[in-house]
Amino acid sequence: MKQLISIVILTLTCLAGKAQHTIEGTIEYERSLNVHRRMDYLDEDEKEWVARYRDKAPKYNKNYYNLSFNTKHSIYEPGRESDETTNMWFARIPVDENVVYTDYATKTVIAKKQVYEEKFLVKDSMRKLEWKIMDEVRTIANYKCRKAVSVMCDSVYIVAFYSEDIPVSGGPEMFGNLPGMILEIAIPRLHTTWIATKVDITTPEEKKLVPPKKGKETDVKGMYDVVLSSLKRWGDQGQRVVWWAVL
């Protein structure tokens, strides 16, 4: 009898361990942009105009996105509407309608991006950042996460928290290539964070995990060059638009 009880306990323990790992589902991310800090980078003429509306604009613009995934691929796209947002032009950014498909087997991405009037269909390999794994841990959406830091575009510092309990190397936008799913990304220079609010472990429909198809085909560097050339007269503000575009 004691042997039978031991076997049952061991089996339940193993099942509990497996249950902690999520290999498919849908993650909701809340993207929060500090609108007031973004105003600091406007031209002087624009600042004077915007100052009249500063108190009327919410400090943070919040939008929601869904990442549906399994171990083979994922699709990141706009989610539910937010009550905490503004349509004022100085609060809008080029990544509001991004759709990003990632193939984890081939380590490639196909992303639909719109930068003002230009629509791109970006096809490239998954972004390869040199991540440095840190000791700090925190719990996000009931998952234990570890901190990692990196730099993109030579000078844009990135802070991520990923969970090995979701052993899929994905995340919001085109971020990934960590030992688990990224549940939080912070880009201080863009005054923006993405954080998972919930993880639904319901199996996503395969027919929904398909890449976008419309837009001018290019790779990340091609889009970067086009946007940079178009906005080179915008100075610091234009450079930030370029960084937004390549996320």
| pLDDT 10s digits, 49-80 | 566 666 667 778 899 999 999 999 999 999 99
**pLDDT, tens digit, 9 for 90 and up, residues 127-182:** 999 999 999 999 999 999 999 999 999 999 999 999 999 999 999 999 999 999 99
Burial of 69 (0-12, 13-18, 19+ CB in 10 A): buried
Nearest residue to 150 via CA among 135, 131, 169: 131
Range of the domain at 151: 23-245
Measuring CA to CA, how many Å separate 153 from each of 50, 157, 222, 234?
29, 9, 14, 18
Question: What are 24-57's pLDDT values in tens digits?
Answer: 999 999 999 988 776 666 655 565 656 666 666 7
- 3-class SS letters over 137-160: EEEECCEEEEEEEEEECCCEEEEE
Q: What is the Cα–Cα distance from 74 to 157, expressed in whole angstroms?
A: 25
User: Residue 11: beta bridge partners?
Assistant: none
> Is a pLDDT exceeding 50 seen at residue 7?
no
Asked if residue 121 lies in contact with residue 216, where contact means CB atoms within 8 angstroms, the answer is yes
Domain-embedded: residue 198: yes
Does 15 map to a domain?
no
- pLDDT of res. 44: 59
User: How many domains is the chain built from?
Assistant: 1
Beta carbons of 126 and 177 less than 8 angstroms apart: yes
Look-up of token digits 């309608």: 97
Give the pLDDT confidence of 210-226 residue by residue, as tens digits.
999 999 999 999 999 99
Strands, DSSP E only, in the chain?
25-34, 60-69, 73-78, 99-103, 108-115, 118-125, 132-140, 143-152, 156-163, 181-187, 192-200, 216-218
Amino acid letter at 181? M
CA dihedral sign, ordered 228, 123, 30, 132: negative
Q: Does residue 3 lie in a domain region?
A: no
The angle subtended at Cα 193 by Cα 57 and Cα 230, nearest 5°, is 75
Q: Does residue 13 fall inside a structural domain?
A: no
Q: Is residue 79 part of a domain?
A: yes
- Within 10 angstroms of residue 65's Cβ, the number of other Cβ atoms is 22
CATH code of the domain containing 228: 2.50.20
User: How many residues does this entry show for the chain?
Assistant: 247
In the chain, how long is the greatest CA-to-CA distance?
Answer: 82
The answer to whether position 17 is within a domain reads: no
Q: How far apart are the first and last CA of the chain?
A: 59
Task: Tell me the C-alpha distance between 172 and 78, whole Å.
Answer: 11
Residue 77 lies in a domain: yes
